[in-house]
Amino acid sequence: MLDIKTNKWLILLTLITLTNCIHYIKKAKKEYILRVAIICGVDRVNIGGVKDRTYYKNVQITTNDKFPLYFSKHKGYVFVNGKKYRGNLHIKKIDERIWVINVLDIEDYLKGVVPCEIGRISEDIIEAAKAQAVAARTYAYAHLNQHQDLGFDLYATIQDQVYKDVNCESELTNRAVEETERQILTYNGKAIEAKYHSTCGGKTAYFNDAWPGDPPPYLRSVSCPYCKNSPHFKWKKNFSKGEFFENLRFRLKRVGYEIPQGELIKNLRLIRNKKSKRIIRIIIKTEKEEYVIPGYHTRSIFGDHKDPGGLLKSNLITINVKRNHVIIEGKGFGHGVGMCQFGAIEMARQGKTYRQILYHYYRGAKLKKIK
């Protein structure tokens, strides 16, 4: 039996040995799990992955199966209708239809978001992709449990952020995600509402230029002399008078403002935000009434079926009537709030860092690394 003195020396030697080995022990990486709805409301879906320790290469799931179903990754991936995704799958039935939820770490999710949102990039503008990665990560953190009633966090569409399978990834955008790992934008210690859009047209919008509600202080209009090379910087639409007013009546009804068919529209005025130049009110005078429509309906009521998503490209517009034609001229593409993506690309091309880009568009926000 060892004496007390010998025991003390053994304990000390053990502690020294462990201390020297710490550098060689890899700390487990903390995961932040996100649930993304990639398939919504279908009758059947083909799945590849591991279920009950068995690998299924391509099994068809129908509404007659027993739910919920869980498939884990095989060699790092799962498959949905032949497309390869990171993470695992939770398959459930909602309103008698199949929904597929991709369950994965937020950093892996971003690898399928950044190239879809910022587009293909080159090495000289990787800082724009880093800015996009931080904005998209911030959005994800701020919207955790957003659709908790349905059992997931985000849709994989423009309803939240566009997220696609592994085939959309690129080496550069993956690097942008990795080099900004866990970084988000905060205001008063909380993840911000990191809005972004394609092209602002020279000046970003205030929050209330696009939506009702209390405006966050970091989403205000800022000058953006960077997006002039965007194909959406300036644009024009031409309607016949009859077509324009018929479309206007139809779309006003869809947002809750019905003008009777026999009531002649005599005048249309656009009231602007003096700083952002965006439309904040639309005043329509008929022979009987005056209708005041909030500016955040601008894209809905002046858009048509030819526009992306049926929305006018922007609410930074002018409307001119010339003889039998109505001409809408506009600048920008998207709601105009927050980061201008074409602006971010040009800022990166001019040597700005992703921090400088983010601080330009989100005034007062701070970068923070999630632990």
pLDDT tens digits, 194-204: 999 999 999 99
Look at phi and psi of residue 145 and say left if phi exceeds 0, alpha if psi is from -120 to 50, else beta: left
CB 229 within 8 A of CB 344: no
Helical H runs in the chain? 4-21, 106-111, 114-118, 126-142, 171-178, 207-210, 241-254, 298-302, 341-349, 354-361
The pLDDT-based confidence of 261 (bands split at 50, 70, 90) is confident
pLDDT at 170 > cutoff 60: yes
CB 200 within 8 A of CB 315: no
> What's the predicted TM-score (pTM) here?
0.89
The pLDDT-based confidence of 8 (bands split at 50, 70, 90) is low
254: number of Cβ within 10 Å: 12
Distance (Å, whole) CA 304 – CA 311: 7
pLDDT at 25 > cutoff 50: no
Q: Where are the domains of the chain?
A: 33-167, 183-197+204-229+336-369, 234-331
Omega before 231 within 30 of 0, i.e. cis: no
pLDDT at 6 > cutoff 60: no
- State how beta strands 325-331 and 339-340 pair: unpaired
**C-alpha distances in angstroms, 84 versus 102, 116, 129, 153, 216?**
11, 16, 23, 20, 38
Mean per-residue pLDDT over the chain, rounded = 92
Q: Quick one: pLDDT at residue 12?
A: 46
pLDDT at 24 > cutoff 70: no
Task: Give the CB-side neighbour count of residue 101, counting CA atoms within 13 A.
Answer: 21
200: closest CA among 365, 296, 341, 353? 341
- State how beta strands 190-191 and 290-294 pair: unpaired
pLDDT tens digits along 288-317: 999 999 999 999 999 999 999 999 999 999
CB 48 within 8 A of CB 100: no
Distance (Å, whole) CA 258 – CA 74: 55
The pLDDT-based confidence of 369 (bands split at 50, 70, 90) is very high
If you write DSSP's letter for every residue of 164-187 in order, what string do you get?
A: --GGG--HHHHHHHHTTTTEEEEE
Distance (Å, whole) CA 131 – CA 282: 35
